[in-house]
Amino acid sequence: MIPINLPKIGEEEVEAVVKVLRDGPLTNALGAGPMVTEFEKKFAAFANVKHAVAVNTGTAALHMAIVAAGVKQGDEVILPSFTFVATAEAVVMAGGKPVFVDIDPETYTISPVAIEKAITRKTTAIVPVDLYGLPVDIKPIREIAAEHGLAIVEDAAQAHGATYGGKSAGAFADAACWSLYASKNITTGEGGVVTTDDDELAEKLRMLRTHGEKAKYSSLMLGYNYRMSEIQAAIGVVQLGKLPSFAAKRRENAQRLTESLRKTEKLQLPHEPKGCRHSWYLYTVRFKNSTEDERNKVVAELKNKGIGAEVYYANPVHLMPFYRDSFGKRELPETEKAAKQVFSLPVHPGVTEEQADYIAATLLQLL
């Protein structure tokens, strides 16, 4: 089976972990051990920002950033429904009310027009998502946020290596949140990072990460236990150094699939809008005129032939029982249509040229 994603771990990561195990420390009470500090410095440089705050999961990064951005009980936060549930989950964990809006059918990212229509006097923040690794069109969102005094917390969980306007994804948001889960473009097994250029926000994030403490046993605010371990950070330092080669191979595989799949008119292929550079976390295609059952049948056939195709995301968050029952029904036609038509193909760095050609040829044959 060619899996949809596969972490690439080498001897360098193993040696880095062993060094931490032998020499220590394993962690730091304020979450700022030597390996975490090194990883944060290198991640901030990679993301073109002043600060990177490492935590133990991508969900923790989202939760912490949304709290730090000022979201309080009852505040409304605008976000897409076409995303992994953690985006909405973090809003609810912060006490906010998720207000789901529709997507652009070409990019699958949040529609700026839909954002503007959803703003009320209770709106505090916007959480756009760089879905599948394509940066959201942040410029119009930045303008909307400035006009209405709203914070932007960008969910960049899938966007390592993506760029917008010549800068890293997340660079134009008040804060950006990254996942380091095992399937992501780089990994620490579990882990996350918040990046920002705001000094005050960064200080608040570091306190939130470790029980609200600025110094040991001196809690200044309500906080959490979201520290990244030294072992995770050691893996992250090595993985970050490999990211350019990983990103290049993903791009190469994506381009190879596109060249082959242009032969069919049945699919809408992914593309990069002008000024954007995709990270190719997922290579997502869309049936133009097929039903959900037909899409699911093709995905099942691909799996039968050893290709780990997957559907992200068949169940939009606004239709999930908890969110539908807690926050009311919403009509999101573009989101619901995309959920019935999209599916993703493997392009991770472990996919060889021969496997990419096999994936494309098999899909064309099935179509």
pLDDT at residue 242, as a whole number = 98
Structure tokens of 181?
A: 């889960």
The sign of the dihedral angle between the CA atoms of 263, 266, 270, 272 is positive
pLDDT at residue 108, as a whole number = 98
CATH fold of the domain at 243-366: Aspartate Aminotransferase, domain 1 (3.90.1150)
Three-state SS for 328? coil
pLDDT at residue 80, as a whole number = 98
Measure the CA–CA gap between 169 and 46, rounded to whole angstroms: 10
Could you read off the pLDDT tens digit of each residue along the chain, which spans 367 residues?
A: 999 999 999 999 999 999 999 999 999 999 999 999 999 999 999 999 999 999 999 999 999 999 999 999 999 999 999 999 999 999 999 999 999 999 999 999 999 999 999 999 999 999 999 999 999 999 999 999 999 999 999 999 999 999 999 999 999 999 999 999 999 999 999 999 999 999 999 999 999 999 999 999 999 999 999 999 999 999 999 999 999 999 999 999 999 999 999 999 999 999 999 999 999 999 999 999 989 999 999 999 999 999 999 999 999 999 999 999 999 999 999 999 999 999 999 999 999 999 999 999 999 999 9
pLDDT at residue 337, as a whole number = 98
| CATH 3.90.1150.10 domain range(s) in the chain | 243-366
CATH code for residues 11-238: 3.40.640.10
pLDDT at residue 44, as a whole number = 98
Q: Is the bond into 244 cis (omega within 30 degrees of 0)?
A: no
204 conformational bin, left if phi > 0, alpha if psi -120 to 50, beta if neither: alpha
Per the CB < 8 A criterion, the answer to whether 170 and 178 are in contact is: yes
pLDDT at residue 247, as a whole number = 98
- How far CA 129 is from CA of 39, 70, 116, 260, in Å, comes to 24, 19, 16, 29
pLDDT at residue 237, as a whole number = 98
324, exposed or middle or buried, with CB in 10 Å at 0-12, 13-18, 19+? middle
pLDDT at residue 365, as a whole number = 98
Per the CB < 8 A criterion, the answer to whether 208 and 75 are in contact is: no
Per the CB < 8 A criterion, the answer to whether 39 and 236 are in contact is: yes
| CATH 3.40.640.10 domain range(s) in the chain | 11-238
The sign of the dihedral angle between the CA atoms of 290, 291, 294, 298 is positive
pLDDT at residue 92, as a whole number = 98
pLDDT at residue 24, as a whole number = 94
Structural Rg of the chain based on CA atoms: 20
Helices and strands, counts by H and E, the chain:
12, 15
pLDDT at residue 261, as a whole number = 98
